[in-house]
Each structure stands twice: as C-alpha cells, then as structure tokens.
Structure 1
Amino acid sequence: MSSTNIKASFNPLIRPYLVAYGAAIFAITVIGIPFAIIWLCGVGQWWARHYFDKLECELSENSLRFRKGILFQVEKTIPLENIQDVTFVEGPLLKMFNLSILRFETAGQSAGQAHDMRLVGLIDAHEFRQQILERRERLKHAHGQPTNVDQNTVLLREILQRLDTICERMKSE
C-alpha cells in the first residue's frame, strides 16, 4: 500500500465568516461595540485574510497535521490511533457561509485543549472526516488492535454469557 497524503483545502468564505464572528463576539457587550466597529472597518478583514493564508491541514497514513494562527501559530500533529472521534458541526452562522467545523476528540485530551482541536471551513469536510476515520481503523487493524466492531462483538459476547449464567441460576432456583 502506498503512502499517500491528502492535503485539505479551505473554503475562502471562512474570511467573511471570521469577520462576522469576531464582530458578534465584540458586540455582545456594550464595551465591545467600539471594537466591533474597528474590527468591521478593516482590522477584521486583514486578520481573516492572513489567518486564511496560514491554514494548512494534511492527512498522512499515520497522523493528521494542521497549522493555524497569525500571532500565535499552532501546529499540531495528532497520531490517528489517538483520535477517538471526529465530530461534524454546523450552526446557523456557519450555514450562512456554507461552512462547517470538524472537531477532534483525542485520547487523553483535557478540556482546555478542545478549542485547539477543531478546523473551520474545510472543503468536503464530510469526505475528509470519513478519510480520517477509515485510515484510523486501517491503522488499528494493521497493529492488531481491535477495531470498534471487534470491541463491540467481544462486549456483546460477554453480555450473552452473563445472561446465560443468570438464566441458568433462575432455572435452578
């Protein structure tokens, strides 16, 4: 099997989404309204353009690597075997811009890390999510680790054995 990396693409509509989202956050409080006006007058567009230019995401056979940020750049590499789930999120504001979020849950993740483990605006996010999950299962299977289906089968067999034991005891009483 050849090792092919998949490079994700981001929807350019993420830029106006980020501007609108930032303005909404500023405008929530009365004190933030002047900042929202400054944000909408150009700072937000500048920030969103540079943020979009720095976005990168690449899926390899063993890991997912992504980079984002302007002043504080975050580059994260997540081994696929550590990914517990990839959640697809859409909300009203995201739908207005035809965007979605992929949120990653990893083994050993603390609550404070959750916001760093999400990607906004991936093109074909459903397909990219599916690729991540398929590669994760393939990697687990190659390492001899039980897949979710195998784990469920084992659990169901244990439940069946316990039910059989309970039935036997009830018959003998």
Structure 2
Amino acid sequence: MRDQKRVSAHFHANLGLYWLLSGAVFFLFSVVGIPLLLLWFPLGLLAIKRYIANMSAELTEQKLIVRKGLLTRTENTVPLDKITDMALIQGPIMRMFGLHKLTVETAGQSGIGSLINLVGIVDVQEFREKVLLQQSLLRERQTAATDVKNTDTLLVENLQQINATLLRIEQNLPPHSSQ
C-alpha cells in the first residue's frame, strides 16, 4: 500500500522579512555584530530566500515529512502514531508578522526541545488540525485491525478447544463395530 500525500504546507511570504529582522535585532544587541549589519541584509536576504525555497512539510496517510536546510539539508519523517504534542508558539515579533512556530514532539525523542520546529506555515492552525485528524484516523484503523486480530485469535482458540473436546469424547466412546 502506497502512503499517499494528504496536505502540503505553504509558507508565508513575509517569513524571510521576519528572519531578516530577527537577525538584525541579534546583531544590533551584540557589540561585535553592529558592523556585520551592513553584510547581513544583502547576504542574509539571499540565504533566507534559498532556505525558504528548500523548506517543505507534507502530511501523508501515516507520517509527517519535513525537509529544510541550506548547506546541510535534513529530512525528518515522523510517524503520526509517534507524535505526542504539537504546540503553537507566537512571540512578539512573530505577532507583528502574523506568524506562528509549530513544534512537534514525539514519543521516544532524545534530547531537550522539540523534534521539529516550523515557522511561518500559512493557516498553521488548520495544518495542525489536519495532522491531528489524520493521526486520529490512523489510530482508529489500527484499533479496528487489532480488534479483528483479537477476534480471529479467539475464534481459533475456541475451535481448538472444541476439537480437543471432540477428541476426548471420541476416545470415551465404545469401539464401533461394522455389521
């Protein structure tokens, strides 16, 4: 069975401007960074555009796939049944730009913090709801499959008990003579 794509996330057009401004604020507050501000705007703008072009988030029937990176590209594939929390975070600068950060935490995750951080998804609340809905549907299917397995196991066990009982009855019957 092929894992079909359900939803692809799209990113806000002003995400690059948010990152550019966040970097500028960082450089502004560091004494060493003030001269770097002149380089930050042209180089940062170019790097941010390339980084955003490499970002994607896809929801399939069974997993969430996130790709991002500029020099080192990473792809995280998270099975939906392993997701334990999806939080929405919005700081003051993000609020100015109408952006949210979506964090995804999983069972068995090592380290502190979330496994996946995505900033700037368009309609992030709707995307989150679709992921959670697909996760719920997947769990229902898995529960139904487990119920069928349990029913099959019970039927086989009952048939084995009936067979054993019939064998005991047959052994206790007197030998059958032919006429």
Query: Which interval holds the TM-score relative to the shorter structure?
Result: 0.7 to 0.9
Counterpart contact for 1:24–1:36, Cα < 8 Å = no
- Return 5+ residue gaps in structure 2 as ranges: 145-179
Partner of 2:45: 45
Shift of 1:4: 4.8
Kindly report which structure 2 residues correspond to 1:115-130, keeping only aligned pairs within 5 A, or say none: 117-130=116-129
- Return 5+ residue gaps in structure 1 as ranges: 146-173
Q: Percent identity?
A: 34
AA aligned opposite 2:31: V
Counterpart contact for 2:5–2:58, Cα < 8 Å = no
Partner of 2:176: none
Partner of 1:136: 135
Shift of 1:112: 4.9
Q: TM-score, normalised by structure 1?
A: 0.76
String of CA shifts for 1:78-112, please: whole Å, max 9, x gaps: 10011001101111111111111110011112235
Partner of 1:156: none
Residues 3 and 74 of structure 1, relative CA distance in 2, 3 Å threshold: closer
Counterpart contact for 2:16–2:49, Cα < 8 Å = yes
Please give the root-mean-square deviation of Cα atoms over the aligned residues, in Å. Answer: 1.8
AA aligned opposite 2:8: K
Structure 1 runs, 4 residues or longer, greater than 3 Å off: none
Q: Which has the larger radius of gyration?
A: 2
Partner of 1:15: 16
Shift of 1:48: 1.2
